[in-house]
Amino acid sequence: MTLGKIKPKLRLDFSDFGCINKVDNWFTNILQREFTVEINDRPDLLIFQEGGHLNRLYTCRKLFWTGESIMPDWRKTDYAMTCHYLDDSRNLRFPYYVWGSECTPIELIKGPDYVENVFNKKNKFCSTVFSNGNKRRAGARIDFFLKLNDKKTIDSGGRFMNNIGGSLPIGGRPKRAFNEAYKFHMCFENKEMDGYTTEKIVDAMWPQCIPIYWGNRRVNEEFNTKSMLCRYDYSSDDDFINRILEVDNDDDLYRSILKEPFFHNNKPNEFYSEDRILEFLIKVIEDKTSPISHKRKFWHPGRWKLAKRMHL
């Protein structure tokens, strides 16, 4: 009888996440391919997010992860997984749509009957789902919504300008069910930043809508922008809106965009590769240099007070 591979033990912990199942989550499941993972409050590796203080109590190797546009603070972490294109081996580019969407990349592959199957079930114009109505934080998105909505009504399923009788439940699947009847889905990001591509674009693709996108100028490096209507291909909002309405009114144009695969060559991009992520995590775990937390000159007792705030 051939014995299975004996996996090394890895003590792991998470801190400063709003809500996470430490035993069953995206990171733990990938790491279990190579390690026997034990959740332990004295870990070999800590994975943490921004905004909290508990991570400061750990003295092990630290990995900062964020789905937002925050840059890693190398005074506080050894490694990072962020959306940023950084020329730094300590950072792995990991766009939020990989983690933040409930859709698998296989579900975004277009088969030979895709166009006809989609065309025959789309009977509404355009949807959107967002709740941030703060002009300072999401002004470009709000302005464009109002301009397009003035030309033809957008059905809004989020808290912002809701016109469907109430906000959708939280989660990707309710959004998918809501969006399935729509030809287009407006999926502007909160703000414009290279690399900052969130789950919003996949929320459009999963229910087979044509995405109306703005946010990451380099989105064409990860997705085929011929499969969407991208603000960066037009000189003004007015030109962009005119194109959206033209496609809406021309079945041949609409079909030609539907035919384009979401991914280049109809294959998931590299950021969905679990092997790529596992390789990076192994590098983090096997790093023999002293963790950044060991380089502090003193232990600040105030950290205990900061940590307590997380539970008040």
pLDDT for 51 equals 83
Predicted TM-score (pTM) of the model is 0.90
Report the distance separating Cα 100 and Cα 96, nearest Å: 5
pLDDT for 295 beyond 90: no
User: Residue 115 — φ and ψ, nearest 5°?
Assistant: -60, -50
Per CATH, the number for 9-99+272-309 is 3.40.50.11650
Report whether pLDDT(270) > 50: yes
> What residue ranges do the domains of the chain occupy?
9-99+272-309, 110-266
Identify which of 172, 232, 160 has the alpha carbon closest to the alpha carbon of residue 205: 172
Helices (H) and strands (E) in the chain, counts: 10, 11
DSSP reduced 3-state for 48 = strand
Would you state the structure tokens that stand for residue 122, as one six-digit string? 């789309």
Residue 52 confidence (pLDDT): 86
Asked if the domains at 9-99+272-309 and 110-266 fall in one CATH topology, the answer is yes
What are 48-94's pLDDT values in tens digits?
Answer: 999 888 999 999 999 999 999 999 999 999 999 999 999 999 999 99
C-alpha–C-alpha distance, residues 10 and 39, integer Å? 8
Tell the CATH topology of 110-266. Rossmann fold (3.40.50)
